[in-house]
Amino acid sequence: MKVETRKFVAKTGNEAAAFAMKQINPDVVAAYPITPSSEIVMIFSKYVADGEVDTEFIPVESEHSAISVCIGASASGARVITATSSQGLALMHEILYIASSMRLPIVMIVGNRALSGPLNIHCDHSDTMGSRDCGWIQMYCENANEVYHTIINAVRISEEANLPCMVMMDGFIVTHGMEKVFVLEDEEVKSFIGKRKPLYSLLDVEKPITLGSLTLFDYYLEYKRNQLEGVIKAKKIINDVFEEYRARFGINVPSFVEEYNIEDAEIVVVVMSSAAGTFKEVVDELRNKGEKVGVLRLKVMRPFPYEILREKLTNVKVVGVMDRAETFSTMGGPLSIELRAALYPLSKRPLVQSFVFGLGGREFGIEDAMKVFDILKDIGMKNKITEEYIYIGLRE
Amino acid sequence: MKRILSLKELAERTVGLASGHRACAGCSFPSIIRMVLGSSDYPVVVSNATGCLEVVSTIYPYSAWPCSWIHVAFENAAAVISGVEAAYKALKRRGEIKEDKKIVFIAIGGDGGTYDIGLQALSGALERGHNFLYVLYDNQAYMNTGIQRSSATPFGASTTTSPAGKSSFGKIQDRKEIIEIVAAHKIPYVAQASISHWGDLIRKLRKAYEIEGPKFISIIAPCVIGWGYKEDETVEIARLAVETCFWPLYEIEEGVYRVNYKPKEKLPVKTFLLKQERFSHLIGRDDLIEEIQKKVDEKWEKLLRLDGLKVF
C-alpha cells in the first residue's frame, strides 16, 4: 500500500508512541512518568484501563526500578517497553549497561530533554548522548510519523539483535507537536513483529540459567568483545528490518541516514532529529538560488554508521555538524567528534565545522539554519576552519 | 498449611547451593540458601542483590545455583523480581505458561541492599503487591566491601567506618527497624528468623510460599570475618542472638504479631556480645553493655505486649 492511500491520523509524538505501543501490545510495560515523555505512559495507562491491551503494566516508584523491572521481565522472555526523558534516563544509567551486556531486548522511547543543572525541561540531546556508550541501539527520529514507525521496527531489531534499543524524539517539539502520522492496521503490526522468541528465559525452570554472574579479569575482556560483535551484527539487522518494512508497507522511514539533496552537494549539514526539517527548508531555498547544498540526517547514533558517512561525505567540500549537546571536551559536541573521527582515515576528506545549538530548548529557526550555511560557505571560500566549534543562537 | 520438613527430608532434597562456591569457611548464608531453596515444593526464580552471596556463588564460568537466578545490581533485587513476576503473569494470561504452573519468586539481599540502598526498590515492590518473597540475610554491615557500617549495624558495634577508638565506642546509632518498616506496608507476611532455630525458619518459609502477595523474612546471618568469631561457632552465635532476645523470633501475619519463641531463660545480651570481636572493645564498658541490654529488653517487652495483637 502506498503512503498516499494509507490511513493517516493527527497525533503528537507522545500519542504516536503510545499508539504504536497499543498496537504492539507488549507483555510488560514498566515506567515512571517524566516530562516531556509522561504522556506516553499516561495514554498507555488508559489503554490498559479500557482493556484495549492486556499488557502487565507496572507503574514503578522510580526510573531506576522501571529499567530494573524491564530487565527482569525481558530475561523472563517477555516483550518489554518503557519510556523516559532526561533525569529519568540519567537515573537509569547504571542499569542501562547491564541491560545491554545481558543482551536483553527492551524498547525504550525517549523524549529528549536537557539534563540538570540548571533544571530545564526542554529539548536537547544531552540525556541520550550521555547514554550513547551504554551498548544500546540509538535511533533519533525527525517527527511523530517516524517515531511511530521506528518503534514498530525497534521491536523487531531489538529482539533479533538481542540488544536493547532507544527510540528518540525531540522533547516538546515532537513529543507535543501535532503531526500527520500514517498508521498501519493492527493486523499489519502484529504480523510484522510476530511473537518474541527468547534464546533463554528465567521462567523456563526446567532449564535453569544463571544470569548476571560476577565476571573477573579472566573473562570480562572476552565478554565485552562478544558484546561488540552483537552490536556490529545489529547494523545488518537494522538495515534488513527497515528494508522489509518499507517493502511490505510502502512507508519510507530511513534506517541509518536520510539524504536530502546531497548527491552533488558541496556543502552538507549533518544533523539529527527535528532540526533536520528546518535545514531542509533552507536547503530548498538555497537550491532555488542554485547553491549546491544538502542535508544528511543521521538517524542511528549507535551503532555509529561510519561507513555510510564516509561514503556520503568524502566528496563534499565543507561539512557542518550540528550538536544539540555539549561534551565539555572543548572540541565540540558528541556527533561532531565522532564524525571527524570517522572521516579521518579518508585520504580525501571535507573540512568539518562543528556547531552547538538549541541547548535547553533554545529556539532554532530558519535564520539560524541560514546562518549555519553562511558560515559554511565562508569556510568553503577561505578553505579553512578557524574556530573549533561555534554556538548558534547564543545571546552574547 | 504445609508440613514442616524434617532435617533429613531437607537434606535429601537436591536443591541447594552446589559445593565449590567460594563463601568463607563458617559463613551462614549457604545454610540459609539451602533452607530457602529446599523448603520450596515449587520451582524457584531468584533475583539476587549484589553482595557476598552473589559474588561467591557465581564467579563466571561457574554457578552454584540450581535454579533460575539473576543478579542485576546492588539496589534493585526487588524491582528485578517484580519484572520477572510481571512477565510470569503476562505470559500466563496469554497462554504461554500453563495456568497451573506455580513458580516461587524470591529476591535475596543483604542488609546493604535491603535496609539502605535497596530500600526504595523494596518499598516500591511491596506497595505494588507483587507475589514474591524477599529474603534478607542480615549480617549487619557491608561485609562484601570491607565491613563498613550499615543502618543494620547495631549500637556499639565496631566496623571499619564506625571503628571503636580512643573517643569512640563504635556505632552510635541504633539499628533501623526493618521489620517494622516492611510491616508498615501492610503486606500479608513478615517474619524474623534464625538458622539456629531451623524448624521455625522452615515453617516460616513454607508458610510464605503458600501466601499470595509480598512476603518478607529477615534471617540473622552471622559473619565470621565481620563479627570476629571462630568458623565453627556460626550457628552458636545465631542461637545466642535468639536466646538473649537480641534477635527475637517473631512474625506478623495479616497484621497479627506473634512471638514464636520465648527462651526458657533469657540470657544476658553480654553472652552474645562478648563472643564477637566487633563488640570486644565493650569489655570493661558495663555502662554501654547495660545500655544495649536496656534496648534489647525494651524491644522484647514491646514484642510480648504486641503478641496476639492485630496491628493493621
Q: The complex's ipTM?
A: 0.97
Best of A82, A190, A213, A226 to disrupt the B interface (most B CBs within 10 Å) is A213
Q: What is the pLDDT of residues A317-366, one digit of tens each?
A: 999 999 999 999 999 999 999 999 999 999 999 999 999 999 999 999 99
Indicate whether B7 pLDDT > 90: no
Distance CA A153, CA A146 (A): 10
Is A210 in Cβ contact with B63 (below 8 Å)? yes
Is B69 in Cβ contact with A73 (below 8 Å)? no
- ∠ CA A331-A335-A337 to the nearest 5 degrees? 35
Distance from CA of B7 to the nearest CA of A (A): 25
**pTM of the model as a whole:** 0.97
pLDDT recorded at residue A396: 83
Is A70 in Cβ contact with B83 (below 8 Å)? yes
Is B58 in Cβ contact with A73 (below 8 Å)? no
pLDDT recorded at residue B12: 79
pLDDT recorded at residue A1: 57
For B183-210, what is the mean pLDDT?
97
A-chain residue closest to B47, CA distance: A72
Beta bridge partners of A323: A356
Interface of B with A in 45-104 (CB under 8 A): 45, 47, 54-55, 58-61, 63, 65-73, 75-76, 79-91, 93-94, 96-97, 103
pLDDT recorded at residue B252: 98
Interface of B with A in 136-165 (CB under 8 A): none
pLDDT recorded at residue A2: 64
For B57-77, what is the mean pLDDT?
97
Q: Which of A10, A341, A260 is nearest to A148 (CA)?
A: A10
Sheet holding A389-391, edge to edge: A257-260, A293-298, A267-271, A318-323, A351-356, A389-391
Q: What is the pLDDT of residues A179-206, one digit of tens each?
A: 999 999 999 999 999 999 999 999 999 9
For residue A325, with 0-12 CB atoms within 10 Å meaning exposed, 13-18 middle and 19 or more buried, which class applies? Answer: buried
pLDDT recorded at residue B1: 58
* Chain B neighbors of A224, CB-CB under 8 A: none
A-chain residue closest to B107, CA distance: A72
For B251-271, what is the mean pLDDT?
98
Best of B74, B84, B93, B103 to disrupt the A interface (most A CBs within 10 Å) is B84
- CB contacts < 8 A (A, B): 168
Distance from CA of B241 to the nearest CA of A (A): 32
Is B70 in Cβ contact with A214 (below 8 Å)? no
Indicate whether B104 pLDDT > 70: yes
Residue B114 in grid coordinates: 535491603
Q: What is the pLDDT of residues A34-49, one digit of tens each?
A: 999 999 999 999 999 9
For B304-312, what is the mean pLDDT?
95
When pLDDT is cut at 50, 70 and 90, the band that residue B16 belongs to is: confident
* Chain B neighbors of A96, CB-CB under 8 A: none
Count other Cβ atoms within 10 Å, centred on residue B8.
7
Is the bond preceding B61 in cis, omega lying within 30 degrees of 0?
A: yes
Interface of B with A in 250-269 (CB under 8 A): none
pLDDT recorded at residue B8: 83
pLDDT recorded at residue B13: 77
Indicate whether B261 pLDDT > 60: yes
In which residue are the cell numbers 543494620 written?
Answer: B152
Percent pLDDT > 90 in chain B is: 93
Q: What is the pLDDT of residues A237-260, one digit of tens each?
A: 999 999 999 999 999 999 999 999
User: For all residues of chain A together, what is the average pLDDT?
Assistant: 97
Distance from CA of A198 to the nearest CA of B (A): 12
